[in-house]
Amino acid sequence: MFKIYFAIPFFVMMTSLTSCYSFRGISIDREVFTFYVDDFELNALNAPVTLDQDFSEALRDKIRRETRLTLSEVDPDLIFSGAIVRYDVTALDPVQGERTALNRLTIGIRVEYESMKNEEDKWQRTFSFFEDFPADQNLADVEIQLIETIFEQITEDVFNAAFSNW
């Protein structure tokens, strides 16, 4: 009798926990098994020369980590491609003496998404994000960290656009 009273609450608890597992709202067709991220082009002036390769790899890693899909160059079910179209540093927050207190690094990436399984599942969008940094810091000193933070947000936005039903 004790086993039954223990088993029922345990079963209810485990069932409710597993229902929370898929909280992201990811929706991938059961017929889709592979993806390919083409090397993005670098069309932005003054951007680091490896920025396109770094973004392509960041997007590949995001999809590999967070989906069941396998990376494949041969007949992929989903294809991501595009270009880095913006890489700007702008001055913000003017202070006395013709100086600024903050600078802003903005990166814009045009992404093209196409499903080979569904002709209607195709889009092209530009995703953009920025990070601010103190004007007294040299961009070269903080650039890697800023790019990583911006890429985290942009890859999340691309991922949600491709796989979420929100």
pLDDT beyond 90 at 128: yes
In a domain, 130, yes or no: yes
In a domain, 107, yes or no: yes
In a domain, 16, yes or no: no
Q: Looking at residue 163, what is its pLDDT?
A: 93
Count up the domains in the chain and report the number.
Answer: 1
Taking residues 124-144, what's their average pLDDT?
Answer: 96
In a domain, 83, yes or no: yes
Residue 114: which domain range? 28-163
Q: Looking at residue 18, what is its pLDDT?
A: 40
In a domain, 14, yes or no: no
Q: Looking at residue 27, what is its pLDDT?
A: 84
Taking residues 22-33, what's their average pLDDT?
Answer: 77
In a domain, 39, yes or no: yes
CATH number at residue 134: 3.30.160.150
Select the more confidently predicted residue: 135 or 107: 107
CB atoms within 10 A of CB 94: 12
Select the more confidently predicted residue: 101 or 15: 101
Taking residues 143-162, what's their average pLDDT?
Answer: 98
Q: Give SS3 for 112.
A: strand
In a domain, 150, yes or no: yes
Integer Cα distance of 118 and 135 in angstroms: 48
* Class of residue 65 by CB neighbours under 10 A (exposed 0-12, middle 13-18, buried 19+): exposed
In a domain, 113, yes or no: yes
Q: Looking at residue 98, what is its pLDDT?
A: 66
pLDDT beyond 90 at 19: no
In this prediction, residue 23 has a pLDDT band, given cuts at 50, 70 and 90, of very low
Integer Cα distance of 112 and 38 in angstroms: 10
14 Cα distance to chain centroid: 31
156 Cα distance to chain centroid: 3
